[in-house]
Amino acid sequence: MNVLSIGVIYEKIQSEQRITEDEALFLFESASLLELSRLATIVRNKKNHPSRVSYVIDRNVNYTNICSIGCTFCAFHRSHGDIDSYVLDLKTLEKKATETKELGGTGILLQGGINTELSWDYYLDMVSFLHSQCNIWVHGFSPVEIQHLAKLSGLGLKATLLALMEAGLGSLPGGGAEILVEHIKQKIAPNKGGVSGWLEVMEVAHSIGLPTTATMMFGITETIANRIEHLALLRNQQDRALKRNNGGSFTAFASWPFQSGNTAWHGKISSITDVEYLKNVAVARIFLDNFPHIQASWVTMGKKTGQMALHYGCDDIGSLMIEENVVSAAGTTYRVNREEIERMIVRAGFEPWQRDNIYGEIVVGKPW
């Protein structure tokens, strides 16, 4: 029997053996959608309740849109002095946190541009205020922001993260990974710290017990093999994190296709199809055997494809997106309320449950 066959891979998955990078590539290139759905669902159901799908009510708060990095794929960033540039103050943050909690929300996903005019104290005060005064979970700062803050504080990565945790940082989002292949990173975001920079921040975060997520933005000139290379780096890093058993690890993986509107790439690359997106999440679910959760991206793909992804290995449908600025700046905007997101899950054949930013179940009346 050919080693690279659906039958062999099926047997490995059933017996909870790890598939190889070659097998992952084979699945993406040769397996049918039905086969991928079947295999991804087996893995999903071994790790999560087969009939339940989670969602989170949080708010994406971009504290500044001023950024000096200059990523070629970003339609959100502004320069100092631009008429529509901004930096949020604590009063505005309090209003956003209050609105979030009134809608049943439990967390703030806090990210912004690399604004060289902001002080280290601005960040500490912001995190402390949201955590202590607003009583809301802070899921904040992508690795490139942490790299910037380490330089700003002069403390180094570990001490910077510890200081942020003491101020109230609860978890770290995995934004900014894009494709973890160096020549791709250099092409699309040469000033963003590279592959090693992103991985180093996650390694240090995990070493001190800080949970994080992991991401992939695909469809920006990379090959399928590049995507598998990206997944392999994540899987290897998660292996190391789980061995420590200190609470610091990847809680979930989320992927979405690049949105080229209003960027330098508009009209130069093809859009990702629904089929390719579903293949991508299914292969990720099968390959990332040490990740507990896989998120669907209805925000970029739309509600129906988001629902379909629940049958391709995803056990989480993500956030209501009370506020979202980065993807919408590229021309893609989808919004739902709690009733709609629960209806999406039910109509896809599952039972909805509300989670927090680190996948704890939210019980009505119970504070985070």
Residue 338 pLDDT > 90:
no
Q: Which residues contact 359 (CB under 8 A, 6 or more apart)?
A: 54, 251, 252, 292, 293, 316
pLDDT at 327 (0 to 100): 40
**CB count, 10 Å around CB of 220?**
21
Phi and psi, residue 42, nearest 5°: -60, -50
State the Cα–Cα distance between residues 180 and 217, nearest whole angstrom.
10
pLDDT at 1 (0 to 100): 39
Q: Would you say 279 and 255 are in contact if contact means Cβ atoms under 8 Å apart?
A: no
Q: State the chain's mean pLDDT as an integer.
A: 89
Coil/strand/helix, residue 238: helix
pLDDT confidence of 329, banded at 50, 70, 90? very low
pLDDT at 341 (0 to 100): 92
The two tokens of residue 61 are 């708060």
pLDDT tens digits, residue range 246-283? 999 999 999 988 765 555 555 666 678 999 999 999 99
Confidence (pTM): 0.91
Torsion, CA 256, CA 260, CA 264, CA 270, rounded to 10 = 100
DSSP secondary structure, 39-73, as one string: HHHHHHHHHS-TTEEEEE-EEEEESB-B-SS--TT
Q: Which of 193, 258, 265 is nearest to 227 (CA)?
A: 258
DSSP annotation of 203 reads: H
Q: Which of the two residues, 268 and 287, has the higher pLDDT score?
A: 287
Residue spans of beta strands (DSSP E) within the chain: 52-56, 58-62, 107-111, 137-140, 169-171, 212-218, 250-257, 293-295, 316-319, 351-355
The two tokens of residue 316 are 């989480």
Q: Would you say 145 and 112 are in contact if contact means Cβ atoms under 8 Å apart?
A: yes
Residue 121 pLDDT > 60:
yes
State the Cα–Cα distance between residues 113 and 108, nearest whole angstrom.
16
The two tokens of residue 305 are 């494809």
End-to-end CA distance of the chain: 52
Residue 146 pLDDT > 60:
yes
pLDDT at 332 (0 to 100): 40
Q: Which residues contact 241 (CB under 8 A, 6 or more apart)?
A: 203, 206, 248, 249, 250
Residue 6 pLDDT > 80:
yes
Q: Which of 12, 8, 4, 3 is nearest to 286 (CA)?
A: 12
pLDDT tens digits, residue range 226-250? 999 999 999 999 999 999 999 999 9
pLDDT tens digits, residue range 147-175? 999 999 999 999 999 999 999 999 999 98
